[in-house]
Structure 1
Amino acid sequence: MAVCAELSQLQHIEPSRFISFSFPNPLLHDASNPYGNADDHAELLRVAVIDSPAPAAPSPPSPRTAAMLVPAGRHCDWIFSTRAGQLHLLLSSRSQCTISRLILVGPEIPAPSPRVVRCAAARPDPDPARARLLPLLLALCPRAAFGNGAIPDVPLLSFHDDLLRLVPVQVVAGPVVGEMLVEDVAVDCAPGPAELRRRLRFKRMPCLIQTQVRLARPMSAAAAAASSSLLEALEEGPASSLQPEVGGPLVQPYLQAMVAGLALIDSSVEENARSGARPRCLCAGVGGGALPMSIRVGLGFDVLGVEADCVVLDVARNYFGLVEDEFLHVRVGDAIQMVQDFAHGDEPDSKFSAIMVDLDSPDAMCGVSAPPLEMTHRSILLAARRILHHHGVLVLNVIPPAADASFYKGLIDVLHQVFSELHEIDVGNGENFVLVARVSPTESTLLDSSRLFRTELRKLTGDFLERIRKVEIPS
């Protein structure tokens, strides 16, 4: 049978190989079964196996295998049901230990997912489940893992996030990014109350949240709503009165850090304000529109957003509160190409105070990474510098590829070659860094908080203003 052929192939690690098959559920009548209340399809499990895209590190010498149980109710989530999602789980695990193969075990994909997923706050001890699954897991280990007759250890990894509830709202497909999902979630913000948020994710990179905004009731209906009543509102469905909050404090920390980078142009922004002129910002990548809306509404910038996919812009308008006006315009197109077009043109109004680059790599098989490799080329960075004002900044959201340890250093080196000064903000999530490159050296002191613009920045960015550090050129 097909499964047997696949099992024989799995005797060796093959970079980026991905297979999945059904298997009788050995947990079916066991107290450790996490899918006991799922449905009739829990009699069968879906087993998915993915090998690392890169060869294992030389130490340890034998390839390591790890497994993960899909959280109850999440088996249809793209994080757990797609190759791209499972690859990200494997690469995330590699940051903690060297994993050459990841085995994901959960209900079959045809099993219907509940409309409202109540994410478990308390997770059962996985050890009993691991014991029942161990014969299967050992059978899926590569032959090299049994060196010197030893039986390999197959740890059962756990998946943790801060979700309390998850409600899919809409799935649409765009001509560039493919399928995308709008979903409403309740997030555990302990020790504070739970928050309701709307998120946008792409199927090609399901572990990356493209946009996230808070949801709220109109003030007349929700002045003192408790977290419990908010959870009930989330389960009422699309007809509920919840609306996205726009233009206020940003939810995603890396976006807060990107906006904090504008502190490096505070002098020129306030000079513009005194003359009655608005600073201009080019947002390369719009997503749901949280970043351009925050800069437009919270800081009073004139914003041009560029998004590659017209359907993404429709989603931003319909679900995330993106509103275009005389000071916020969006265009459909390739943002990197548009930077080049501006640089090669002679339009007097094409100069910007800031260029904010929030673009992820389109190659999902490299895991989550940003920006696209093209954006790091010297010619593109020179084009960006050309369309910036003398005191302008280029702000880059950077997620170094897990498989390329030299990417981040190489990007810093080329930015030092093109720009006069470079600053870094560590977002603190172990994934994102924000690099802020200045056309000219800084004239103001970053610790000077007396400026009006700095006061407005602090409302949007929290403590990220204090995390800005200069990156010196290596001697």
Structure 2
Amino acid sequence: MALDPTAFKTIVPSRYITFTIPNLLLHLHHFNASQLRVAVLDSPAPSEPVQIAAMLVPIGRESDWYFSTEQGHLQLILNFPQLSRLFLIGNSPTSTHPTSYNPLLCTDGVASVADSSVVEENLMPLLIELIPRSAFCRTGDGLCEIPFLSYEDEVIRSLVLDRCVGEFVGEMLIEDVELESEDGGGREFRRRLRFKRMPNLVQTQIKIRPKNVDFVNMEEVEFEIVDDGVLVHPYLTPMVAGLSVIRSFLDAKIGNGIKPKALCLGVGGGALLGFLSSQLGFQVLGIEADNVVLEVARRYFGLERGNSIRLCVGDALDMIGKFATQVESNGFHGYVLENGEHLNDFDDKFDVIMVDLDATDSNIGMSAPPLAFFQKSALFAIRTLLSKDGVVIINVIPSDQTSYKLVITEFKEVFAELYEIDVGNEDNFVLIASASEIGHVSVHRQSKFLKKLKQVSGSFLDSIRLI
């Protein structure tokens, strides 16, 4: 079907159009394919006045879900709420799947230092044809400015290890990445899990290290998991820091030889479950909607089930509803999951419930968790499952402040107290809701549990605030 140029003259919320054109800019190095791919996305909530911008796809990453899918584009434009329309221009992908990324192996070695201003100048006639009428000004030359945004992240190079398809989460990939070190020296390597439905959201990452450090291609080296008791996913450390709200209760329980009980809604690669079990001595039950995700966690991320970690497959909302009914009637004594797991060890209540679930669709105003978790029925079920001194700790990624304020209001209507940790990455907030008012009892002795909690949580302990 021929492209109708008039289609671009108006803004249509959430409309997504892609097309290819012959590449006449081969001499500019940045573009080295015979075809250019152009994507035009209109924001779900267009700004007034209309503002537009363009972005060049990093060379070598054209097949990455960040830049080649509608959901990837959507998450990009949601990072710029002032925009009404975003253009992405890059080499036409040679593959429909992400494979690897290594700028060291670019065609002529100069693509990374191409003169971006010359590229932008040569693209301007094309972009002018794609501008909506409402973006034209009545002053000056009649055109609004079209700024070029830059995409920057810490990834130096990457390699996709595997792609899987889960019945619930859909297509996912496991990749090894080399990152820029935060202190500017050395190398850092991670293994990551990403879902195609939310391509810009890393579901899980853990530390890995190469068995041979002298390599150019990541395909050439074998990596091993680093088990140093450190959480590297940005929001997991503040989630663990949230335990300090009930540190006196947990410390007393551990001091009496009783393992605290944790329910984790969302397993992913299992980094949080493994940490709670191995580093803090928790008995952990993890609920994951997709069995394929659990297989990935075991195969690639070192998750091991055993006496301290139990796993079950099921929808988190359905499971907490069933658990709440079970707890109110007869507790977990004699209760058997569909996979044959007995929950006798979990008694009647959980000391902490950790919620780490994505929303499956960032159009709804929340990237994590699903909005259904803020319904009164779900919040009351969670509170029913908590021990008297327990807390629910939840990772929240709101798309805007209005959505976030609504979440806070819902929590305050069900729970006794609500605390917040700002993760500091402009995306995540951790909310800690307590089943009852917390007595702030000082713990004078430095137990092993408290030392470990302080060691892993760092400055986040001081950033917890009551809201």
CA apart distance, 1:93: 2.1
Change in Cα spacing, 1:392 to 1:86, as seen in structure 2 (3 Å) is same
1:356 deviation in Å?
Answer: 0.2
Evaluate the alpha carbon distance shift between residue 462 and residue 233 of structure 1 in structure 2; reply closer, same or farther with a 3 A threshold: farther
- CA deviation profile, 1:399-452 (whole Å, cap 9, x unmatched): 1124xx322111112212211111110000001000001112222358978343
- Asked whether 1:46 is paired with 2:33, we answer no
C-alpha distance in 1 between matches for 2:439 and 2:449: 16
Deviation at 1:21, TM superposition (A): 0.6
Contact 2:156 2:177 (8 Å CA) reproduced: yes
For 1:267 and 1:233, the matched residues in 2 are separated by 50
Aligned residue in 2 for 1:359: 357
Query: Is the CA contact 2:159–2:218 (under 8 Å) kept in the aligned structure 1?
Result: yes
Q: Deviations over 1:12-44 (max 9, x none)?
A: 0001110111112232123xx3134xxxxx121
Equivalent in the alignment of 1:296: 277
TM-score, normalization by structure 1? 0.88
- Greater Cα shift, 43-52 or 149-158: 149-158
How far does residue 112 in structure 1 lie from its aligned partner after superposition?
Answer: 8.1
Deviation, 1:101, is 0.5
CA distance in 2, matches of 1:382, 1:247: 37
> Which of these residues, 448, 461, 474, is aligned with residue 457 of structure 2?
461
State the partner residue of 2:235: 254
Q: Match for residue 391 of structure 1?
A: 389
Cα separation, 2, equivalents of 1:448 and 1:23: 69
Q: Is the 8 A contact 1:138 1:152 kept in 2?
A: no
For structure 1, the residue ranges without an aligned partner over 5 or more in a row are 37-41, 223-228
Q: 2:421 aligns with which of 422, 425, 430?
A: 425
Give the deviation of 1:183 after TM superposition. Answer: 0.3
Alignment-derived partner of residue 200 in structure 2: 207
Q: What do residues 54-92 of structure 1 show as CA deviations (whole Å, max 9, x unaligned)?
A: 132x3xx3x111110000100000000000000111111
Report deviation, 1:247: 6.9
Structure 1 residues 394, 270: closer, same or farther in 2, change over 3 A? same
Alignment of 1:71-470 (within 5 A): 71-94=58-81, 98-110=82-94, 116-119=100-103, 124-148=114-138, 150-189=142-181, 190-216=183-209, 229=213, 232=216, 234-236=218-220, 240=222, 242-246=223-227, 248-345=229-326, 346-348=330-332, 349-366=347-364, 369-402=367-400, 405-444=401-440, 450-470=446-466
Q: Is 1:205–1:368's contact at 8 Å kept on the other side of the alignment? A: no
C-alpha deviations, 1:218-263, integer Å up to 9, x for none?
xxx67xxxxxx265483415xx1x2223471100120101011011
Which stretch has the larger CA shift, 261-270 or 174-183? 261-270
Give distance in 2, aligned partners of 1:67 and 1:446. 54
Q: C-alpha displacement at 1:119, in angstroms? A: 4.2
1:303/1:339 CA distance change after superposition, 3 Å? same
- Counterpart of 2:353, as a letter, is I
Letter in 1 for 2:187: A
Amino acid at match of 1:188: E
Greater shift in the superposed pair: 111-120 or 409-418: 111-120
Contact residue 216 and residue 243 of structure 1 kept, 8 A:
yes
CA contact (8 A) 1:279 1:302 kept: yes
How far 1:360 sits from its partner (Å)? 1.1
Matches of 1:449 and 1:71, distance apart in 2: 53
Q: 1:303 to 1:357 in 2, by over 3 A?
A: same
Counterpart-to-counterpart distance in 2, 1:468 and 1:234: 40
Q: Give 1:256's aligned amino acid.
A: T
Quick one: structure 1 residues 119 and 429, their matched pair in 2 at CA, closer, same or farther if it must change by over 3 Å? farther
* Contact 2:15 2:42 survives alignment (8 Å): yes
Higher alpha-carbon deviation: 443-452 or 196-205: 443-452
Structure 1 runs of 4+ aligned residues shifted over 6 Å read 446-449
- Contact kept in structure 2, 1:73 and 1:113, CA below 8 Å: no
8 Å CA contact 2:60–2:102 kept in 1: the answer is: yes
Judging changes above 3 Å, is the alpha-carbon distance between structure 1 residues 448 and 426 closer, same or farther for their aligned structure 2 residues?
Answer: farther
CA 1:200 to 1:230, structure 2 compared with 1: closer, same or farther past 3 Å? farther
Q: Distance in 1 between matches of 2:170 and 2:96?
A: 23
SS in 2 for 1:273: helix
- The DSSP-based 3-state class of the residue aligned with 1:93 is coil
Code of the residue aligned with 2:155 in structure 1: it is L
**Comparing 131-140 and 342-351, the one that deviates more:** 342-351
| Matched-pair identity in % | 44
Taking the aligned partners of 2:53 and 2:311, their CA distance within structure 1 comes to 45
Matched-pair contact (CA < 8 Å) for 1:84–1:365: no
Write the mapping of 1:5-24 to structure 2, written as runs, cut at 5 A. 5=4, 7-24=5-22
Q: 1:12 to 1:200 in 2, by over 3 A?
A: same
SS of corresponding position for 2:80: helix
Contact kept? 1:247, 1:290, Cα under 8 Å: no
Q: Distance in 1 between matches of 2:114 and 2:449?
A: 49
Contact 2:160 2:174 in 1 (8 A): yes
- Paired letter, 1:23: I
CA contact (8 A) 2:64 2:98 kept: no
The separation in 2 between residues aligned to 1:291 and 1:21, in whole angstroms, is 42
Cα distance change of structure 1 residues 116 and 27 upon mapping to structure 2, 3 Å threshold: same
Deviations 1:172-196 (A, max 9, x none): 1000010001000001013242211
Kept in 1, the 8 Å contact 2:36–2:92? The answer is: yes
Separation (CA, whole Å) in 1 of partners of 2:159 and 2:442: 42
How many Å separate the matches in 1 of 2:40 and 2:51? 13
TM-score, normalised via structure 2 length: 0.89
Q: Write the distance in 1 (CA, Å) between the matches of 2:260 and 2:385.
A: 13
Q: Is the 8 A contact 2:398 2:427 kept in 1?
A: yes
Does structure 2 retain, via aligned residues, the 8 Å contact 1:419–1:440?
yes
